[in-house]
A and B are shown apart, each in its own frame.
Chain A
Amino acid sequence: MSAARAPGLLGSPALLSWIGVLALGVLLPFLVYPVLAMEMLCFALFASAFNLLLGYGGLLSFGHAAFFGIGAYVCGHAAKVWQLDPLLALACGTAAGVMLGVAFGAVAIRRQGIYFAMVTLALAQIVYFVLLQAPFTGGEDGLQGIPRGALLGVLDLQSESVLLGQRAAWGLYGLVLAVTVSGHFLIARVLASPTGLALRSVQEHEPRARSLGLPASGLKFGMLVLSAGLAALAGALKALVLGLAALTDATWQMSGEVVLMTLIGGVGTLAGPAVGAGLLRYLHHTLAGLGSWVTVVLGGIFVFCVLVFRRGMIGEWLAWWQRSRAAVGSSGR
């Protein structure tokens, strides 16, 4: 009944929506400033990776900025100091996130619900202080002057050109779009797989899933590692785009912000976190002159979402769509 749950990932409605996503990705830099568009894409991947854990594993991580931040710093270090190819630098950032995910999982996976949130928050603080104090991270300034380099030594990611009247580094934009869409495709693929279904059954009723012989802890651990890797990839991508691994990427405020992105878009929906991420980055861009008021606005949106808008934008839309389908179905009978 619902397209989001259709098992055929490349069935015609699903295929259509993927084409739609790609089209939107191509249009985006003509709608907003291209660098902002790339930033939105990076955060979309970050939020979707986070949602993998909250929306489908039922685990609220309050430390996801650690993965995002470590991805950015390691990728930046690889590109700047080791002068690696951008793809290899991205891979280094992702690998660092995966390893960090394994470490977080070893400590936190046995704790549930509220404890999991508090433990991940505290672990992320360790990462934050390491990034603040380590000799090669640039302290409060972050890692600056990260070169974009040339993809596979051929495609220069730095050079800008004019396309249909819009000036941007189009090679870089293509890379960011390709990585982001592939990341989302991987998430959708995993969720539609038997493993993804097993994960959902664990979220719905863990004791029963265990009694059926499903390795609940192992499944959650695997999702945490996958989510950490993708979040790190998003951070690495952002570091290439902005040429900067910022300390703010690893703060607890960033961990809170990715929760908000997911919440406002729709927890447990495929498209919700990406929509929420785009909206929130756009909001940041427009409210940049307001200083501390941004924090107040974000806090207000948080309270509003929790009190009356828990399904989020995409969640509300899906619910409305299903209701109207049901109404049509019953009147037809």
Chain B
Amino acid sequence: MMDIPFQALVSQAMLGLNNGAFYALLSLGLAVIYGMLDVVNFAHGAFYMLGAFLALIGLDYLPVWTGIEGLRLGFWMALLLVPPLVGLLGITVEALMLRRIARLQPIYGLLLTFGLALILEGLFANHFNSGGEPYGGKPAALEGAVDLGFMMFPRYRLFSMVLAIVVCLAVWWGIERTRFGAQLRAGTENPDVARAFGINVPRLRSLTYFLGTALAGLAGVVAAPIYTVSPHMGSEIVIVIFAVVVIGGMGSILGAVVTGLALGLLEGLVKVIYPPLANTVIFVVMALVLLWRPAGLFGREA
């Protein structure tokens, strides 16, 4: 273990933190949706994949499909437009499907969103290269690398990390410190009493699902220039996100963010120290944490 060069360890740690920022962003959305709707959103990965594909389509396919060369959406436009677009799809799903099964056991929500994830993944696997396509729209301002003092780090990756963490903190602040957040928490805690106080709980539920899926879409757009855009990118990451959320405990938003970052870092380090374990280390940690604290690190025992 001692003969591993320090430089390799540090660079893998930074790449791991970069992945961790995406884990944090995705598990945050999952935790917000679960808190309000009692739905474990299996389609979260599919919405993430959709975000990445919409960015890719805006850049490469829209001019071809419409025949208008000028209709090309660059990265910044995608960053602005795609998350609300994915969120709108989320709202549609909530209104047409999730609302109808809201009074049933939560496992039906999991099964329904699992079915949705299969549909989305299958549709994109049919129309696009299932091996994945690179996204060529990385903005010129974010090309190259920055000197962090201890290593050179790609500028875009740094940008994605900072953006993810800023968005996470903003969402946390919005839920813990604003009037809207207070209503949201009240609706989560006790929907009936919240309604009695004049809070429109059904609209709150729609907004929550909009927010959660838009976060997944945002993560997808930001991920597109880093990872290959593939129909299967969502299902690969969603199981890891589930483990992150189980480790952190579903109750806590800050817990989800911290756990996401920490596990990304751990994954990166394991990739250097013992590569065969890199794919599974998060799941192994999950098993150990559950044996020690069944409610997760930041969760309360139900």
Whose C-beta in chain A lies nearest to the C-beta of B241?
A118
Bound CA span A119–B117, Å? 19
A307 and B97 contacting across the interface, CB-CB below 8 Å: yes
Within 8 Å of chain B (Cβ to Cβ): is A197? no
DSSP majority for the A interface?
helix
Whose C-beta in chain B lies nearest to the C-beta of A107?
B287
Within 8 Å of chain A (Cβ to Cβ): is B201? no
Within 8 Å of chain B (Cβ to Cβ): is A263? yes
B115 and A299 contacting across the interface, CB-CB below 8 Å: yes
Query: Total interface residues on B, using CB and 8 Å?
Result: 44
Binds B, one of A122-130, A169-177, A317-325: A122-130
Residues of A within 8 A of B267 (CB): none
CB distance from A224 to the nearest CB of B (A): 15
A117 and B115 contacting across the interface, CB-CB below 8 Å: no
B116 and A299 contacting across the interface, CB-CB below 8 Å: yes
Within 8 Å of chain A (Cβ to Cβ): is B23? no
Among A115, A133, A307, chain B packs the most CB atoms within 10 A around the CB of A115
Among A129, A133, A299, chain B packs the most CB atoms within 10 A around the CB of A299
Within 8 Å of chain A (Cβ to Cβ): is B61? no
B235 and A302 contacting across the interface, CB-CB below 8 Å: no
Within 8 Å of chain B (Cβ to Cβ): is A293? yes
B290 and A117 contacting across the interface, CB-CB below 8 Å: no
Within 8 Å of chain A (Cβ to Cβ): is B26? no
Query: Total interface residues on A, using CB and 8 Å?
Result: 43
B280 and A129 contacting across the interface, CB-CB below 8 Å: yes
Partner of B246, one of A115, A252, A299, A302: A115
Residues of A within 8 A of B106 (CB): 113-114
B122 and A294 contacting across the interface, CB-CB below 8 Å: yes
Whose C-beta in chain A lies nearest to the C-beta of B285?
A122
Within 8 Å of chain B (Cβ to Cβ): is A166? no
CB distance from A284 to the nearest CB of B (A): 14
Within 8 Å of chain A (Cβ to Cβ): is B145? no
B115 and A111 contacting across the interface, CB-CB below 8 Å: no
B117 and A126 contacting across the interface, CB-CB below 8 Å: no
Within 8 Å of chain A (Cβ to Cβ): is B294? yes
Whose C-beta in chain B lies nearest to the C-beta of A292?
B125
A252 and B294 contacting across the interface, CB-CB below 8 Å: no
Please encode chain A, from 127 to 159, with 1 for each CB lying within 8 Å of some chain B CB and 0 for all others. 001100100000000000000000000000000
B284 and A107 contacting across the interface, CB-CB below 8 Å: no
Bound CA span A189–B239, Å? 36
B118 and A296 contacting across the interface, CB-CB below 8 Å: yes
What is B's interface to A at a CB cutoff of 8 Å? 40, 97, 100-101, 104-108, 110-112, 114-123, 125-126, 130, 235, 239, 242-243, 245-246, 250, 276, 279-280, 282-284, 286-287, 290-291, 294, 302
B118 and A60 contacting across the interface, CB-CB below 8 Å: no
Residues of B within 8 A of A294 (CB): 122
CB distance from A275 to the nearest CB of B (A): 19
A292 and B126 contacting across the interface, CB-CB below 8 Å: yes
**Quick one: given A114-B106, A118-B246, A307-B97, are A299 and B290 in contact (CB under 8 Å)?**
no
Within 8 Å of chain B (Cβ to Cβ): is A34? no
A118 and B126 contacting across the interface, CB-CB below 8 Å: no
**Quick one: given A118-B40, A126-B280, are A295 and B287 in contact (CB under 8 Å)?**
no
Residues of A within 8 A of B107 (CB): 60, 113-114, 117
Bound CA span A194–B287, Å? 32
Within 8 Å of chain B (Cβ to Cβ): is A19? no
Residues 10-40 (chain A) with a chain B CB within 8 angstroms: none
A126 and B239 contacting across the interface, CB-CB below 8 Å: no
B105 and A113 contacting across the interface, CB-CB below 8 Å: yes
What is A's interface to B at a CB cutoff of 8 Å? 60, 62, 106-108, 110-115, 117-119, 121-123, 125-126, 129-130, 133, 252, 256, 259, 263, 291-303, 305-307, 310
Whose C-beta in chain A lies nearest to the C-beta of B117?
A299
**Quick one: given A122-B243, A252-B239, A292-B125, are A306 and B287 in contact (CB under 8 Å)?**
no
Top 9 closest A-B pairs, CB basis?
Answer: A302-B115, A299-B118, A295-B122, A299-B119, A296-B122, A292-B125, A303-B115, A122-B243, A306-B112
Bound CA span A152–B107, Å? 45
CB distance from B27 to the nearest CB of A (A): 12
CB distance from B181 to the nearest CB of A (A): 24
Whose C-beta in chain B lies nearest to the C-beta of A297?
B122
Bound CA span A170–B302, Å? 53
**Quick one: given A296-B119, A300-B119, A306-B115, are A125 and B40 in contact (CB under 8 Å)?**
no
Whose C-beta in chain A lies nearest to the C-beta of B302?
A112
Bound CA span A292–B276, Å? 30
**Quick one: given A108-B290, A259-B111, A307-B101, are A123 and B283 in contact (CB under 8 Å)?**
yes
A121 and B239 contacting across the interface, CB-CB below 8 Å: yes
**Quick one: given A117-B40, A117-B107, are A295 and B118 in contact (CB under 8 Å)?**
yes
CB<8 Å pairs between A and B, sample of 12: A115-B246, A118-B243, A118-B245, A122-B286, A123-B283, A256-B118, A259-B114, A296-B126, A299-B114, A302-B111, A307-B101, A310-B108
Bound CA span A62–B100, Å? 23
CB distance from A322 to the nearest CB of B (A): 21
Whose C-beta in chain A lies nearest to the C-beta of B296?
A115
Residues of B within 8 A of A111 (CB): 290, 294
CB distance from A298 to the nearest CB of B (A): 6
Bound CA span A248–B276, Å? 20
CB distance from B248 to the nearest CB of A (A): 12
Partner of B291, one of A106, A115, A299, A302: A106
A117 and B119 contacting across the interface, CB-CB below 8 Å: no
Residues of A within 8 A of B115 (CB): 298-303, 305-306
A296 and B279 contacting across the interface, CB-CB below 8 Å: no
Bound CA span A161–B247, Å? 55
